[in-house]
Each structure stands twice: as structure tokens, then as C-alpha cells.
Amino acid sequence: MALAHSNIALAKYWGKRDAELNLPDVPSLSMTLAALSTRTRVQFDPSLEADQIVLNGSVADASTTKKVSAVLDRVRGAAAIASRARVESMNDFPTASGLASSASGFAALALASSAAAGLDWSSARLSGLARASSVSAARSIFGGFAYIEAGAISAAPLDVSPLARDLAMVIAVTDAGPKPVGSTSAMLHTQATSPYYQGFRDRAPAIYEEVRAALLSGDLARLGDAMEHSALAMHAAMLAARPSLIYWNPATLAVIHGVRELRARGTFAHFTIDAGPHVKVLCQTGDAARIRSVLAELPGVQRVIVSGPGAAARLLPSHEFVAPAPSQGSRGAS
């Protein structure tokens, strides 16, 4: 059984250099989150006629089954085994809610399925396997902070400064509204129709370098500024797509303004937003509880999760396949 944490990009990936191979068009850099994790158990069984996929206690739909079987096929090919597999997976947070379940999901699946097939793969190779399904999943193989270069086949860990190790993410879960458009179709649509995609793509490497340099030197003000610029440039490209991709709802904007007010009063707090309506706020661990209370009061905020940096994806004994109870405090889900 494998456990992998989700991650949130500080420098965003949006756009594919090669859609078939699923190679990223821009470099990205993320923080792995302790509070959001997926546990996945894989058993290859010669008596099965087809792969059986159960997610959070329910049989997976056809499109998810296809994506999971594609990972299993790669593992079967490498291990020279023909058996179908039974896959059970549990998230300790709401699935497909825009909280990056594909990142932790495909990272846990890559590790659990390769181990079940007897393959003892390096982190880089596991990251490449996860990346073929989801670029963000390539980063979830690693703990702390991780990056993946444009066109790269796998991610790598980034050893950050002591100041950056004290960072936390406060996640404001806002009204879900209609189900968001999935990241793959949304980014291909942005690439195909947005006149601003090229602007995002041209600018992304410099923003990524700025985020990376700021993390390494512990320059929090520069980090926060570059991180917000990355997210807003990505959303600006989506807004200009035809038809437009608008992931924000009124609560998303309320949190953005709430974060700006916190900052105006001297708190280090900077937001990022993915392909969904939730707002993730980067802050220092000591400020997380206070920021959480402020965001929880904003209209439309349903729940606030606080997380510190998470560990790398890892194998666990099979009997630990139970969704963990949410823990309290600034380093756990709440």
C-alpha cells in the first residue's frame, strides 16, 4: 500500500508541450501538503478478467478506470506480467473538488502498482510514471518542495532555505458550484483558443526562476509576489479562451481581497488558485491559525484546511489502508 500527499504549485504548470506523452510546456514548482493524502492498495490477481478500481468505496467510472488501467499497463509492460489488478484508493479530503486529488492519486498509484509488481523503482522513475498521467502527480512523489522543468519526463526535489521550511498553506474551500472543467481539456482549450496563452508561456520560465530563487534564499516577499503573478497570469490566459474558462466564484474573490487586507496589515499571506474555485494561501506556520479564522468568516467559505509541508510518497503496511481521521492543529487537516 502506498501513501502520497497532494501538492499545490507556487509556479504553475498550464499547457502541454506534447499531449500524447503528457509533457509540460512550462516549468512548475510546488509544495507537497501534509494534510491532503491518498492511500492506494494494488494487488495483481490472475483470476481477474479486468482491472477493478474502487475509489473512496465506490466502483470507478469508465473514464477513471481507463486512466488507472493505463498506469497499470505501463507497470505490467515493465514487469512482464499479464494479470489484471484490484485497485482500492481512499482520499482523506473531498475528491475531484479542485484540491489536487489527481496529484496524490496518481503518485500513490505509481508507487503502489510498481511495488505490487515487484519493481523497485527510483523516485525519478516513479515520478516519470506518475507524470505520464498527471504532471502535478510527478511532483507528489517528493516531499517538501519539488519542481519539473518544461518538457521534462520527471520531477525532482528542491532543498529550500530554513525560512521556507516554516511555510504553511491555508486552503479556503469555497462553494463548489458546477463541476470544474478537468485540467487536461481546460489547458488544451486554453492553448488552442486563448490569445494570451503565448504570453503566459513566454513569461512562465522567468516567474518559475523567481519563485525558485526566492525559496532558496528565503526571500518571502519576492516569493509571494512571484507566486501570485504565476496564478493570475495562468487565470488571465484562461479568461481569454473562447469560450472563456472562469473557475472563480464570488467567494474566490472574497478570499483574494481578504488576503490582500491581511497583507496590508503586515501579515505574510499570498494566494494561489488552481483549476477550481478554492483559494490556497501561503503563510508562515505561526500565522496559520489566525489566517484560518479570518478566512473562515468570509462569505461563501465552507471549510478551511491548514497544512504544513508533506513528506515524500511512501509504502506502508497493507493493514493501514484506512482513511485517516482528520487531525487537528496547524499541521493537519481540520
Closest distance of CB 296 from ligand PMV, Å: 24
Q: Cα dihedral angle (143, 144, 148, 153), rounded to 10 degrees?
A: -10
State which of residues 37, 89, 91, 102 lies at the interface with ligand PMV (CB under 6 A).
Answer: 102
CA angle (191 as vertex; 108, 147 as ends), nearest 5 = 40
Encoded one letter per residue, x for contact with ligand PMV by CB under 6 A and - for no contact, window 114-153 reads --------------------xxx-----------------
- The minimum distance between CB 289 and ligand PMV, in angstroms, equals 26
Rounded CA separation 7/12 (Å): 11
For 108, other C-beta atoms within 10 Å of its C-beta total 30
- Cell 491518498 -> residue: 38
Q: Please tell me whether residue 183 binds ligand PMV under the rule CB under 6 A.
A: yes
Cell numbers at 205, concatenated: 520560465
The 3-class secondary structure across 203-229, one letter per residue, is HHHHHHHHHHHHHHHCCHHHHHHHHHH
Q: Which is nearer to ligand PMV, 134 or 252 (CB)?
A: 134
99 sits near ligand PMV (criterion: CB under 6 A) = no
Cα–Cα distance, 288 to 202 (Å, whole number): 34
- Report if residue 190 touches ligand PMV, rule: CB under 6 A: no
Q: Per-residue contact track with ligand PMV, 3 to 32, x per CB under 6 A?
A: ------x--xxx-------------x----
Interaction residues for ligand PMV, span 255-284 (CB under 6 A): 274-275
Amino acid at 134: S
Q: Give the shortest CB-111-to-ligand PMV separation in angstroms.
A: 17
Question: In the bound complex, what is the minimum distance in angstroms from residue 131's beta carbon to ligand PMV?
Answer: 8
- The span from the CA of 213 to the CA of 221, in Å, is 12
Whole-angstrom distance, CA of residue 132 vs CA of residue 26: 16
Q: Pick from 52, 64, 184, 284: which binds ligand PMV (CB under 6 A)?
A: 184
Taking the complex as a whole, the smallest distance from the CB of residue 79 to ligand PMV amounts, in Å, to 25
Considering only residues 34 through 93, tell me which ones interact with ligand PMV, judged by CB under 6 A: none
The total of other beta-carbon atoms located within 10 Å of residue 174's CB is 27
Which positions lie near ligand PMV, rule CB under 6 A? Answer: 9, 12-14, 28, 102-103, 134-136, 183-184, 274-275
